[in-house]
Amino acid sequence: MIKFEEASAADPIQRNERGAALALLPLTATLLFYASPRVLQQEPLYQFLPQFCAYAAFLTWSRINGATATRLGLTRSLIPQGLRWGIATGLALGTVNVLGILYLVPWLEADYRFLADTPHAKIPLLLMLPWFILLIATLVELNFRGFLLGRLLALRLPAALAVALSALLFAFDPFLVATFQHLHWIAVWDGLVWGSLWVALRNLYVTIVAHAVEVILLYSVMRVVLG
């Protein structure tokens, strides 16, 4: 069990870093997006505004600080732990979410068949599995758990608040919401689990592997179901 009161304090290496406030840039961009006129929110390029800001902030932060891999939790020694925890977590979350989509969503009189028309569904199978999923999982986890969550902790936010905030920003990413519609709420649950694991283990391989395994499972099952 994760003890947030013990994990709240920034690690010593985080206390010595600069530019942690750059994490506020994607947060501000997300708020500005949802405050914008609805017609503007429907523009595909504008939906990527928070992501553009996030990766620009991440690159800037990485340039002004050393030991980036250590700060993110990407040292080589963490790989075995990352695989163990990541595979188990990904399979568990993937199973729960598949059951939720197939049974809970229809029970709530919502639809999941629109997933057949998402951009991800149109990517060739051999490109999507596993390469594109691995790429997306890596980039997303570098952003939301490695950079954003880590910097919120460096700003001395309580761990529970930092995890919740990073999960909400993840779930309400404009492109994710536009693509997965009402199913984007699943990302809140995922973000809370992945964020909690990162706080507890400080190992980004865990969240990258968990993210990739879960999406591979979800994608594979839904591809069969949707035909």
pLDDT of 137 reads 98
4 assigned to some structural domain? no
Residues of the domain holding 214: 14-226
197, part of any domain: yes
Answer yes or no: is pLDDT of 178 > 60. Answer: yes
Residue 170 lies in a domain: yes
Domain tally, the chain: 1
pLDDT of residue 164: 98
Work out the mean pLDDT of the chain and round it to a whole number.
93
Tell me: the pLDDT tens digits for 99-116? 999 999 999 999 999 999
Please give the helix or strand (H or E) that residue 111 lies within, else none.
Answer: none
What is the structure's pLDDT at 73? 95
Residue 3 domain flag: no
The most distant pair of C-alpha atoms in the chain lies apart, rounded to whole Å, by 52
Render pLDDT for 122-166 as a digit per residue (tens, 0 to 9).
999 999 999 999 999 999 999 999 999 999 999 999 999 999 999
Report the pLDDT averaged over residues 31-41.
97
- Does residue 63 form part of some domain? yes
Q: Is residue 2 part of a domain?
A: no
Residues 179-190 pLDDT 10s: 999 999 999 999
Quick one: what percent of the chain has pLDDT higher than 90?
90
Model confidence band, residue 11 (pLDDT cutoffs 50, 70, 90): low
- The neighbour count for residue 119, using CB atoms within 10 Å, is 9
Q: Is 7 a member of any domain?
A: no
CA distance 77 to 66: 18
Look at residue 227 in the predicted model and tell me its pLDDT. 84
Is 143 inside a domain boundary? yes
What pLDDT score was predicted for residue 6? 45
Buried b (16+ CB within 10 A) or exposed e, 213-224: bbbbbbbbbbee
- Is there a contact between 170 and 30 (Cβ–Cβ < 8 Å)? no
- Give the confidence band of 1 by pLDDT, cuts at 50, 70, 90: very low
Q: How many Cβ atoms from other residues are within 10 Å of residue 10's Cβ?
A: 20
Could you report the per-residue pLDDT of 57-86, keeping only the tens digit for each? 999 999 999 889 999 999 999 999 999 999
Q: Which amino acid is at 201?
A: L
